Structure 1
């Protein structure tokens, strides 16, 4: 794989990871508190907290 292919794949990965998260209680955008790598599954789990106090897991 040459550099152009590598950059194209990394751009796609970044875009897929930037999903819009909305609070189910107040529909505002919560802020990211922590991001944890699940090494067993190879996935990143993100924890968000909203201004209304709601905690949201994104896995």
Structure 2
């Protein structure tokens, strides 16, 4: 994936995170699921990068 594509991915994730955290009345449970999802996305990106280091 090219640098500008990664920038778009990261900007979209950051925007989604800001929007979610700006919502009123988010429960601890919902926030916990959100955080787990963001952690999984970060791991998926890391795995993708490792798998494509030789490309």
Q: TM-score range by the shorter chain?
A: 0.3 to 0.5
- Structure whose alpha-carbon radius of gyration is higher: 1
Higher helix share: 2
TM-score by length of 2: 0.39
Higher strand share: 1
TM-score by length of 1: 0.37
Which of 1 and 2 has higher RCO (CA within 8 Å, sep 6+)?
Answer: 1
